Structure 1
Amino acid sequence: MAAKRTGLARARKAAGHTQERLAQLLGIDTSTVARWESGQSEPSPHRRPMLARLLMVSREQLEELLREPASSPGSQADEPAPSDHMLVPVVVEGRTVLLSLDPQTIAARTVDPHTIAAERNGAAVAAAQWGDMSPLDRRSLLKHGLAAAALPALGLDELHQVAAALADARRYFDRAVLDYFKRQLTACKTGDGDRGPKRTLPLVLGLLGAVEEHAREVKPQVRRELLAAGAEGAEFAAWLYRDLRDFGRSLYWYDRATEWAQEAGDAPMQGYILLKKAQLAFDEREPLRMLTLAQAAQQKTWSVPQRVQAEAVQQEARAEVMLGATAEAVRPRLDQARELLEGDAGENPSLGAHYSHRLLTMQTAICYTEAGAPRQAAELYRQTLRETTFSKRDYGFFLSYMAGSLALAGEPDQAATTGLESASRAFATNSDRTKQQLVTVLDYLRPWQHRPAVRELRHAVAA
């Protein structure tokens, strides 16, 4: 019997894929993925670039996974040993506990190993607490790889409960554990604007891995609640990939979110995902698709909150200007969006909770620029855009659009200075979406490419 490539399987799980999902994305049979992981065959050369992208590893790292010493069937290597993982200490109410982080997650460039290594200093107490866990608990957490790494801020008692849930979902995956996963997702969303997608994704993918693995085993009522939480998490993962401009994986997680929301009977979430797909269509410069998706999100079938309707109306207006409408022609739509937002009664407070008048104003400015009115857009940015009212990532993102408006309005020095402010925040939060917009700004500034400020911006973006 062939030896197993356990590293390849761990990398797949770390990226949040089952064998079935990975095969679907690659357009192959599930049995082919199973043969790769069992050592019976290897991916053909033309499939390796896409496989590396889906596993979130470099081509070189994928080759290392395929060359690594394989384990024989039944050997201890079939189950990850503690030495295969980095134990990351976290402090919970004054106590330090260790969590296991899969090495493939670290290699995936979504986690900074230097940051983690720094956090390991002074972790002697954590080793003692890890030792206090039963061997079965440790084995359960290590076996589930990234799912365990996605559980920061756990005390010993809670760590035991989650380990038991991972080992026996039907018996132990109760509402208390489900509430814990919801809290962790909320914490990921809260810190995303400052941490950036590359530091947030491992935790989110871990949560989704737990949902994917255990939804098929729990009691029916818990399953529906778990899938509803999974739909929210999958929508957030799609957003993180969108910020990384990985549109393929973004669409994949939007589709997963839709599927889970359908099974959970969550109609508002289904409508909300249509809106998010409209935003993805804007990133991909597909205005007709953006228009029809934004219109679909407004259907009464979904019963989305008025603030979600407001954003959908704004997206519809932006699609119309991309298709040739003037700023004056879409002004009634933008006024309608503002009226909807003002009339929002706060139903379903978690859905679209981030949407505010300030965000609508930023999107209106983007719409004006698309409509050929960059001076109006620049004025809106000057009036509304403040660092104290947006996260670091979002502030940098809207600065990049402000820089573009200023460049189109014939203010190259101010555009370059604004672009430099944006660039510093884009690199701090790893926002590829912002970096790409700054490339567009440099294209607008081409007539003034020899000005010192413009040259400085070009060097900053290329760094």
Structure 2
Amino acid sequence: MGETRADLWSHPKLVSAVATEDWGAVFRTYRQLTGLSQTKLGERVGLIQPEVSTIERGRRRVTSVEVRQRIVDRLRIPEHLLATDRPRAGSPVPALAVPGPGPDDDLLARVTSVVDGEHRVDAVTLDWFDRLLAEHRRAEDEIGSRPLVGLIRQQLRTVVDLYGGARGPLADRVVRLASEHAQFLAWMAQDQGQTAAALAWYDRSHEWALEAGDTNMAATTLSMKAHMAWSGGRGDRCVRLAEAARWSAPGTSLGVQGMAAQMAARGHALNGDADDAERLLDEAQELIGRAAQHPEDEPPWMYFYGETWFTLQRGMAALHLRDWKVAITRLTVGLAALSDDYRRDKTWYRACLAHALAEAGEAAQAASVALAAVPDAADIGRPHSWNELHTVAAVLMRRGAKEARELVAALRAYD
């Protein structure tokens, strides 16, 4: 990819890295997009190759104002991408990685004063944190989890600090908000294959949800642990955790109930239990249909849960049950309806579609779908989409398909 690429500084990963001033990520992504070596990048910004390497690996931070400005000038980073107001320690981090306005001056002063212990927290402050977290969830769909982890950790620290200034019902809201942040951090750790960290965050989120009386989040954390078990190929554990999500938190929303039923169906499909899988999928779809009639009753993290997503889940169940024709049909239909805003999910389901095509003997089409998914899988789809594409290559090689060689070469180019 040439370094004169016109949309270089519109790339989501570069935008996020610059906004958070993660210069290591800026260097890595810039080199990936332009093809520059560490030596050539160093020459451009006035650093030697070992300095570029240590910055990329996070062993050195760019603290010099002069070096920072040299990077900005010589890489021609657009001014509008740069953070003009650097938050002081302990203050909330604005939504730098997502579109939309941040807090106005009055609200920002109010949040800061609460953190400093000068005033009590109020509902307006918590409303803003709710909106901020919702924006970050949607940003993660498009740019992946890695650019957002630091931001969400900082937001969680700030939310925890808010607890000291909260009273009465507002204290419960703060704990609920902390639970939602912990659940999001768990999901991002899971997305990056960090199983132990994900389980720890899910446990913390579950504990805070129970403390705040938030049954929807308590059930969701169990469903997401079921998802982890499914990802690890543990069908029985997936079923047990999903069933626990259903009976341990009564009074949950229809959508949350549907999520739990669908997670149990995943486990049964993974075990090859077609009848139980189909029965629970039908039940989950009925719950989701009813939930769609009253979206205002669903918690904010259920925004993605609808008919399109459910069509894709039926395709995944068919994939586990080795019904390649049904898997191909449902994954194709679901992908056609899935918004481009769900870049990470599109990458995953494309890899799964390629897998189903390869198993069905459609080698040329499988390779075409897989090759188109390789760049995004390398960028935001590791380890899950990336591993699935390697599985596709293995299936094609096992079948002696000539297309396997091109896919293997493409994967190696990004390794």
**Alignment-derived partner of residue 121 in structure 1:** 79
1:278 and 1:315 in contact (8 A); partners too: yes
1:279 and 1:290 in contact (8 A); partners too: yes
Q: How much does 1:430 deviate?
A: 4.8
Structure 2 spans left out of the alignment, 5+ residues: 1-19, 21-53, 97-101
Q: In terms of mean alpha carbon deviation, does 379-388 or 230-239 score higher?
A: 379-388
1:311 and 1:360 in contact (8 A); partners too: no
Which amino acid in 1 is paired with 2:110?
A: Q
Structure 1 spans left out of the alignment, 5+ residues: 1-13, 15-56, 66-81, 89-112, 131-137
Structure-to-structure mapping, 1:70-109, within 5 angstroms: none
**Alignment-derived partner of residue 281 in structure 2:** 334
Pick one of 133, 136, 160 that aligns with 2:109: 160
Tell me how far apart the structure 2 counterparts of residues 398 and 296 of structure 1 sit (CA, whole Å): 27
Pick one of 86, 89, 94 that aligns with 1:143: 89
1:249 aligns with 2:200: no
Pick one of 405, 411, 429 that aligns with 2:362: 411
Q: How much does 1:270 deviate?
A: 0.4
Q: How much does 1:387 deviate?
A: 6.1
C-alpha spacing 1:120/1:383, structure 2 compared with 1 (3 Å)? closer
1:73-116 deviations in whole A, cap 9, x for unaligned? xxxxxxxxx96899x9xxxxxxxxxxxxxxxxxxxxxxxx989x
Tell me how far apart the structure 2 counterparts of residues 447 and 182 of structure 1 sit (CA, whole Å): 49
Give 3-state SS (helix, strand or coil) of 2:249's partner: helix
1:370 aligns with 2:314: no
Which amino acid in 1 is paired with 2:317?
A: C
**Alignment-derived partner of residue 262 in structure 2:** 314
1:460 aligns with 2:410: yes
C-alpha spacing 1:83/1:410, structure 2 compared with 1 (3 Å)? closer
Give 3-state SS (helix, strand or coil) of 1:143's partner: coil
Which amino acid in 2 is paired with 1:166?
A: V
Q: How much does 1:275 deviate?
A: 0.8
TM-score of the superposition, structure 1-length normalised? 0.67
Q: In terms of mean alpha carbon deviation, does 429-438 or 180-189 score higher?
A: 429-438
Which amino acid in 2 is paired with 1:331?
A: E
Give 3-state SS (helix, strand or coil) of 1:445's partner: helix
Tell me how far apart the structure 1 counterparts of residues 259 and 245 of structure 2 sit (CA, whole Å): 10
Q: How much does 1:356 deviate?
A: 0.9
Tell me how far apart the structure 1 counterparts of residues 55 and 356 of structure 2 sit (CA, whole Å): 36
Tell me how far apart the structure 2 counterparts of residues 219 and 244 of structure 1 sit (CA, whole Å): 37
**Alignment-derived partner of residue 139 in structure 2:** 191
1:178-230 deviations in whole A, cap 9, x for unaligned? 22211110110122211211122222222111123332453343221111112
Q: How much does 1:289 deviate?
A: 1.1
1:407-438 deviations in whole A, cap 9, x for unaligned? 11111221111112222322343543211221
Give 3-state SS (helix, strand or coil) of 1:171's partner: coil
C-alpha spacing 1:252/1:210, structure 2 compared with 1 (3 Å)? same
Same amino acid, percent of matched pairs: 24
How many equivalent residue pairs?
350
2:219 and 2:248 in contact (8 A); partners too: no
C-alpha spacing 1:372/1:388, structure 2 compared with 1 (3 Å)? closer
Tell me how far apart the structure 2 counterparts of residues 59 and 393 of structure 1 sit (CA, whole Å): 24
**Alignment-derived partner of residue 392 in structure 1:** 343
1:150 and 1:206 in contact (8 A); partners too: no
Pick one of 358, 369, 382 that aligns with 2:308: 358
Q: How much does 1:295 deviate?
A: 0.7
Q: How much does 1:59 deviate?
A: 12
Tell me how far apart the structure 2 counterparts of residues 193 and 343 of structure 1 sit (CA, whole Å): 25
Give 3-state SS (helix, strand or coil) of 2:322's partner: coil
Q: What RMSD over aligned residues (CA atoms) do the two structures have, in Å?
A: 3.4
1:396 and 1:421 in contact (8 A); partners too: no
Q: How much does 1:306 deviate?
A: 1.8
1:386 and 1:395 in contact (8 A); partners too: no
Q: How much does 1:151 deviate?
A: 4.8
Q: How much does 1:449 deviate?
A: 5.8
1:290 aligns with 2:275: no
Tell me how far apart the structure 2 counterparts of residues 418 and 392 of structure 1 sit (CA, whole Å): 15
Q: How much does 1:294 deviate?
A: 0.8
Give 3-state SS (helix, strand or coil) of 1:215's partner: helix
C-alpha spacing 1:212/1:120, structure 2 compared with 1 (3 Å)? farther
